Amino acid sequence: MPSPRETDPATPAIRFAGVEKRFGDNVVLQGLDFEVARGDRVTLIGPSGSGKTTILRLVMTLEEANDGYIFIDGEPLTHTEVDGERVQLKEHHRNEMRKRIGMVFQQFNLFPNMTVMENLIEAPVHVLGMSKADAIERGRELLDRVGLVGKEDAHPSSLSGGQQQRVAIARALAMDPEILLLDEVTSALDPEIVEDVLAILRDVARTTDITMLIVTHEMQFARDVSNRVMMFDGGRVLEEGDPETIFTSPREERTRAFLSAVLGT
Amino acid sequence: MIADLSALWAAVPQVLEGLGITVLLTVCGAILAFAIAVALGLLARSRAVLVRGLARVVIEFFRGTSLVVQLFLFFFVLPQIGLSMPPIVAGVIALGLNYGAYGAEVVRGSIAAVPTGQWEASTALSLSPVHRMRRIIIPQAWALMIPSLNNLLIQLLKGTAIVGFITLFDLTVALDKLRIATDVFFAYGVGLLLYFVLAYILTLGMNALEVRAKHRLGQGESLREALSFRSPVPEDGVAQGRAAT
Amino acid sequence: MSGLSWNWQHVWDSLPSLLEGFFTVTLVVTVVSSIIAAVLGLVFAILRRSAPAPIAAAVTFVVNFIRMTPIVVQLLFVYFTLVALDPLTIGIIVFGVHYATYMAEVYRAGIDSVPRGQWEATTALSMSRGRAWRAVIIPQAVRATLPALGNYVISMFKDTPFLIAITIPEMVSNALDYGGDHFRYTEVIVLAGVIFLLASYPTSLLIRRLEQRIAFTT
């Protein structure tokens, strides 16, 4: 388990300060500042290309910001300022920070050369140093939680999309992360199966205090689970607030236009 | 067709001896080539420019010069600068380096072909780069690289036919003896057939490995279900062409 | 006569005979055999695809057999059977046929890579078979095959020293002759290697560039 930290509960779990991210000439995020408090469930909404997924990928260190700083529990994630200069932190530090963060992907990304159980215990055993027996027990608990008891020896290729995504959620939870990133986790699933997966995520939100950063098109789910919604456009936070306010009476015209296009209202 | 039965009988042991050398060269050459291919293939992906550059130079050198030149390099040139070795060693090293360099491209390309999602999921689980390569990427890349490696293996087998130039008594040299004892058609007919059978056996072996590798990834039938002759040529003529240079 | 010393004199002295071998044999065989291989390979590919089943099967078997057996053995076989022909001609024919079997596969892949929808469109437009091949299929198939053909030409170029087996005086055998005469192989073999590298490496880079440009415009 990540080492317990004496963090002041007021310290935000995630803080972006002046973050800029470019892909070639395309500036996706610019001067981005926002905070996510511990235990928050924040949904990021907005048109594609607005930078929502990029934010998740930056937190997960799958991408690196071109400028600005990201803080996890008050500690810098990849870069820090030394004598006015932006300096990259050592590999070791980034690896330690990364252990507190987990992610579930749109395409599941289960390891095809391993069984379900092997997928679940791989990281806990080799990264967290858990004993194999403990990891297997935890794996079984999680499989039970996501409703896939009895599938531990199955290969990912023999599972349906929804089942694979549930294993992916269990795999991320097996690392006991403080922050869970959900990147359009139901977008690649058949509509009938979407609800099964969302039910599990609702359960996770209800029974734990993991900080969650969610990118989704499932607006009802966003309303149920989040305590904050942030509308992104052009790499900036256009507006934010609690779900009820944002969904029923948004302040910005752009937000209204986006919501009516997505929700068909 | 066969002029003298007793001459044929006398020639058979020689053919077998030649066959033995050919098989030995192929097996040892292939093992060395694979080791070199993996080493160079991984080094060619290094983030350190110097390492990557050095690997590139070695790869391009052994791909760009002819196998025959390399053979002579190890057999004629190295002894003149003090490093002598028995011809069979020169043969194995030249074959290993030449086909290992081609193999490096195959290894590198297969690793790059593993879906990005696998790399990202490994990062999301904080797996170390070494661990990720060993447990996640290479098992998946392995299944992808087998068809191209099969092609190279057959080319290696065919490449052994020139070791007569460095005084080794392989199957091709033995065929000359057989020709004298019998006649051209019989001798070379048998010879070509022997090479063909060897290539067929190697291909069957590689196909079996591929079936097993894919099965481990949850794709496809088990070994039992798939025992049939499959052409050693992969579907992609372009890749094969690229692999040939 | 040993040691790590490099004697440039050997390089200059042997260069003429090496270049002679290069231009009179290596290049000649590469160019002529490539043309034979390109044409014959296309014939093989078309036969395998469009001929009646027994003929297609026979062609497939012969193509595979030739492809999977060593060129050297094939060279020797033809050398001892067609005694009337001079070695160079034999070399050109055998290389041509052997590489035609590789080209056949490249053509097949190229033709297969043209999407089914293209064939269907020609049917929908009532185009004749011949016109469909000429105007639609072959232009698209060629994009995929050109780089592979180029790579095989380079490969053939590097295989030309196999001709030593049937006593053809090409570049490497000339190098060996010089080496034997002077008891000194180092400079002359390295020179041969360098000549190969100088000819093949830039060409293969060009082909890779061509491949990228073709892929980009598809």
Whole-angstrom CA distances from B113 to B37, B235, C43 are 16, 16, 34
Interchain pair B188, C70: CB under 8 A: no
Nearest Cα of chain B lies from the Cα of A60 at a distance, in angstroms, of: 6
Span C126-138, mean pLDDT? Answer: 77
**Chain A partners (3+ C-beta pairs within 8 A):** B
The burial of B187, by beta-carbon neighbours within 10 Å (0-12 exposed, 13-18 middle, 19 or more buried), is given as buried
Q: Enumerate residues 6+ apart whose C-beta is below 8 A from A3.
A: none
Interchain pair C70, B172: CB under 8 A: yes
Render pLDDT for C154-185 as a digit per residue (tens, 0 to 9).
999 999 999 999 989 899 999 999 888 888 88
Q: Which of B77, B172, B242 is nearest residue C73 as measured by Cβ atoms?
A: B172
Q: How confident is the model at residue B235 (pLDDT cuts 50, 70, 90)?
A: very low
Tell me how many degrees the CA angle A154-A155-A160 measures, rounded to the nearest 5.
90
Nearest Cα of chain B lies from the Cα of C128 at a distance, in angstroms, of: 28
Backbone angles phi, psi at B45, to 5 degrees: -100, 0
Q: Is C107 on the interface with B (CB under 8 A)?
A: yes
Give the closest residue to A265 by CA, choosing from A243, A252, A244, A247.
A247
Q: How confident is the model at residue A3 (pLDDT cuts 50, 70, 90)?
A: very low
CA–CA gap between residue B29 and residue C164 (Å, rounded): 22
CA–CA gap between residue A70 and residue B110 (Å, rounded): 35
Give the closest residue to C59 by CA, choosing from C21, C105, C124.
C105
For residues C173-208, one letter each, b for 16 or more C-beta atoms within 10 angstroms of the residue's C-beta and e for the rest, the string is: bbbbebbeebebbbbbbbbbbebbbebbbebbeebe
CA–CA gap between residue B245 and residue B151 (Å, rounded): 13
R_g (Cα) of chain C, nearest Å: 21
CA–CA gap between residue C172 and residue B67 (Å, rounded): 11
| Residue B74 predicted with pLDDT over 90 | yes
Between B and C, how many residue pairs show a Cβ–Cβ distance under 8 A?
Answer: 172
Q: Enumerate residues 6+ apart whose C-beta is below 8 A from A31.
A: A18, A19, A20, A68, A236
**Chain C partners (3+ C-beta pairs within 8 A):** B
Render pLDDT for A25-53 as a digit per residue (tens, 0 to 9).
888 998 899 899 999 999 999 888 788 99
User: Considering only alpha carbons, which residue of chain B is nearest residue C150?
Assistant: B241
Count of helix runs (H) and strand runs (E) in chain B: 11, 0
Q: How confident is the model at residue A2 (pLDDT cuts 50, 70, 90)?
A: very low
User: Considering only alpha carbons, which residue of chain B is nearest residue C158?
Assistant: B66
Whole-angstrom CA distances from A233 to A49, A98, A238, A255, B46 are 8, 27, 6, 9, 38
ipTM: 0.84
Interchain pair B77, C190: CB under 8 A: yes
Interchain pair B139, A113: CB under 8 A: yes
Q: Which of A95, A111, A171 is nearest residue B126 as measured by Cβ atoms?
A: A95
Q: How confident is the model at residue A256 (pLDDT cuts 50, 70, 90)?
A: confident
Interchain pair B125, A171: CB under 8 A: yes
Looking at chain B, the whole-number percentage of residues with pLDDT higher than 90 is 62
Q: What is the pLDDT of residue C198?
A: 92
Nearest Cα of chain A lies from the Cα of B185 at a distance, in angstroms, of: 50
Span A171-198, mean pLDDT? Answer: 92
Interchain pair C73, B64: CB under 8 A: no
Residue whose token pair is 């289960």: A110
Render pLDDT for B128-173 as a digit per residue (tens, 0 to 9).
999 999 999 999 999 999 988 999 999 999 999 999 999 999 999 9
| Residue A222 predicted with pLDDT over 60 | yes
Crossing angle of the two packed helices B5-43 and B49-64, in degrees rounded to 10: 160
DSSP reduced 3-state for A254: helix
Q: What is the pLDDT of residue B232?
A: 53
User: Considering only alpha carbons, which residue of chain B is nearest residue C111?
Assistant: B237
| Residue A209 predicted with pLDDT over 50 | yes
Interchain pair B240, C108: CB under 8 A: no
Render pLDDT for C22-44 as a digit per residue (tens, 0 to 9).
999 999 999 999 999 999 998 89
Nearest Cα of chain B lies from the Cα of A225 at a distance, in angstroms, of: 23
Q: Which of B121, B135, B218 is nearest residue A105 as measured by Cβ atoms?
A: B121
For residue C105, the chain B residues in CB contact (below 8 A) are: 233, 237, 240
Assess whether chains C and A touch, using the rule of 3 or more C-beta pairs within 8 angstroms: no
Crossing angle of the two packed helices B138-159 and B87-113, in degrees rounded to 10: 150
Span A11-33, mean pLDDT? Answer: 91
Q: Report pTM.
A: 0.80
* The pair of three-digit structure tokens given for residue C127, joined into one six-digit string: 């185009």
Render pLDDT for C56-68 as a digit per residue (tens, 0 to 9).
999 999 999 999 9
Q: Is A115 on the interface with B (CB under 8 A)?
A: no
DSSP C153-206: HHHHHHHGGGGGGGT---HHHHHHHHHHHHT--HHHHHHHHHHHHHHHHHHHHH
For residue A122, the chain B residues in CB contact (below 8 A) are: 125, 127, 135
Instruction: Count CB atoms within 10 A of the CB of residue C212.
Output: 11
Give the closest residue to B164 by CA, choosing from C89, C21, C93, C166.
C166
R_g (Cα) of chain B, nearest Å: 21
**Chain B partners (3+ C-beta pairs within 8 A):** A, C
Nearest Cα of chain B lies from the Cα of A78 at a distance, in angstroms, of: 14
Strand partners, A19: A32
- Whether the CA torsion A182, A184, A189, A190 is positive or negative: it is positive
Tell me how many degrees the CA angle C118-C123-C127 measures, rounded to the nearest 5.
100
For residue A156, the chain B residues in CB contact (below 8 A) are: 218
Span A227-238, mean pLDDT? Answer: 88
Question: Could you say which residues from 14 to 53 on chain C have a Cβ atom under 8 Å away from some Cβ of chain B?
Answer: none
DSSP reduced 3-state for C19: helix
Interchain pair B241, C204: CB under 8 A: no
Span A114-126, mean pLDDT? Answer: 92
R_g (Cα) of chain A, nearest Å: 19
Q: What is the pLDDT of residue C3?
A: 58
Q: Do residues B170 and B21 touch, judged by C-beta distance below 8 A?
A: yes
Q: What is the mean pLDDT of chain C?
A: 87
Span A45-66, mean pLDDT? Answer: 90
Q: What is the pLDDT of residue A260?
A: 84
* The pair of three-digit structure tokens given for residue C155, joined into one six-digit string: 């490969």
Q: Enumerate residues 6+ apart whose C-beta is below 8 A from C113.
A: C140, C141, C144
Nearest Cα of chain A lies from the Cα of B211 at a distance, in angstroms, of: 14
Interchain pair B158, C185: CB under 8 A: no
Give the closest residue to B67 by CA, choosing from B158, B148, B154.
B158
Q: Is C81 on the interface with B (CB under 8 A)?
A: yes
CA–CA gap between residue A238 and residue B187 (Å, rounded): 83
CA–CA gap between residue B192 and residue B174 (Å, rounded): 12
Q: Do residues A156 and A116 touch, judged by C-beta distance below 8 A?
A: yes
Distance of CA A192 to the CA centre of its chain: 23
Q: How confident is the model at residue A102 (pLDDT cuts 50, 70, 90)?
A: very high
Interchain pair B72, C176: CB under 8 A: yes
Residue whose token pair is 């990891």: A135
Interchain pair A127, B126: CB under 8 A: yes
Interchain pair B65, C196: CB under 8 A: yes
Q: What is the pLDDT of residue B177?
A: 85
Q: What is the pLDDT of residue A1?
A: 42
CA–CA gap between residue A55 and residue A75 (Å, rounded): 17
| Residue A106 predicted with pLDDT over 80 | yes
Q: Do residues C165 and C72 touch, judged by C-beta distance below 8 A?
A: yes
For residue B125, the chain A residues in CB contact (below 8 A) are: 102, 122-123, 127, 171-172, 175
CA–CA gap between residue A141 and residue A145 (Å, rounded): 6
* The pair of three-digit structure tokens given for residue A34, joined into one six-digit string: 């926002």
Q: How confident is the model at residue C1 (pLDDT cuts 50, 70, 90)?
A: very low
Span B179-194, mean pLDDT? Answer: 88
Looking at chain A, the whole-number percentage of residues with pLDDT higher than 90 is 56
For residue B164, the chain C residues in CB contact (below 8 A) are: 165
Q: What is the pLDDT of residue A170?
A: 95
Q: How confident is the model at residue B225 (pLDDT cuts 50, 70, 90)?
A: low
Q: What is the mean pLDDT of chain B?
A: 87
Between A and B, how many residue pairs show a Cβ–Cβ distance under 8 A?
Answer: 67
| Residue A98 predicted with pLDDT over 80 | yes
Q: Enumerate residues 6+ apart whose C-beta is below 8 A from A22.
A: A28, A66
Crossing angle of the two packed helices B87-113 and B49-64, in degrees rounded to 10: 120
Q: What is the mean pLDDT of chain A?
A: 89
Q: Is C99 on the interface with B (CB under 8 A)?
A: no
* The pair of three-digit structure tokens given for residue C169, joined into one six-digit string: 């005086």
Nearest Cα of chain A lies from the Cα of B129 at a distance, in angstroms, of: 11
Q: Which of C4, C71, C109 is nearest residue B237 as measured by Cβ atoms?
A: C109
Q: Enumerate residues 6+ apart whose C-beta is below 8 A from B182.
A: B1, B2, B3, B4, B7, B8, B11
DSSP element (H, E) containing A97: helix A91-98
Whole-angstrom CA distances from A146 to A43, A143, A179 are 22, 5, 19
For residue C67, the chain B residues in CB contact (below 8 A) are: 233
Question: Could you say which residues from 122 to 161 on chain C have a Cβ atom under 8 Å away from some Cβ of chain B?
Answer: 144-145, 147-152, 154-155, 158-161
Render pLDDT for B108-128 as a digit per residue (tens, 0 to 9).
989 999 999 999 999 999 999
Interchain pair A109, B217: CB under 8 A: no
Q: Is C88 on the interface with B (CB under 8 A)?
A: no
| Residue B240 predicted with pLDDT over 60 | no
Question: Could you say which residues from 189 to 248 on chain A have a Cβ atom under 8 Å away from some Cβ of chain B?
Answer: none
Render pLDDT for B17-59 as a digit per residue (tens, 0 to 9).
999 999 999 999 999 999 999 999 999 998 899 999 999 999 9
Instruction: Count CB atoms within 10 A of the CB of residue A146.
Output: 24
For residue A103, the chain B residues in CB contact (below 8 A) are: 124
Q: Which of A101, A103, A112 is nearest residue B217 as measured by Cβ atoms?
A: A112
